[in-house]
Amino acid sequence: MDQVYKWLIFIGIMGVQFFLSRRNNAYWGAILPVLYLVFIFGWLSNRMVNGNTFSLIIVAIGGLAILLGEWSNGRESLKKKRKKELEKMKTLDIK
């Protein structure tokens, strides 16, 4: 059951990231990656004293890549949506 909650949290975070990245201002999509980096650096500073940091660095890079990929997908989706709306407006003006 614990795994189900982890997956639901992951899916929720990805949904929020996609939603924020589709806003008009691109900086909204940067909120979660920046918060993720702050969290990872805080965790890393705690781990430097206690143990293995290599696995944490790999997780940090992977998580950041996923969040930034979702940000990129959201921005592309917004561009496609704007282009589609512009084409609709042009076709209505022509008639």
Q: Which domain holds residue 9?
A: 2-94
Q: Is 70 exposed, middle or buried (0-12, 13-18, 19+ CB in 10 A)?
A: buried
pLDDT > 90: what percent of the chain? 38
Q: What mean pLDDT do residues 57-62 have?
A: 86
Choice among 3-7, 11-15, 52-56 with the minimum mean pLDDT: 52-56
- Model pTM? 0.77
- Spacing of C-alpha 32 from chain mean position: 6
Q: Does position 44 have pLDDT exceeding 80, yes or no?
A: no
The Cα-based distances of 25 to 5, 64, 71, 73 in angstroms read 31, 20, 12, 15
pLDDT at position 57 is 80
For all residues of the chain together, what is the average pLDDT? Answer: 86
The domain tally of the chain equals: 1
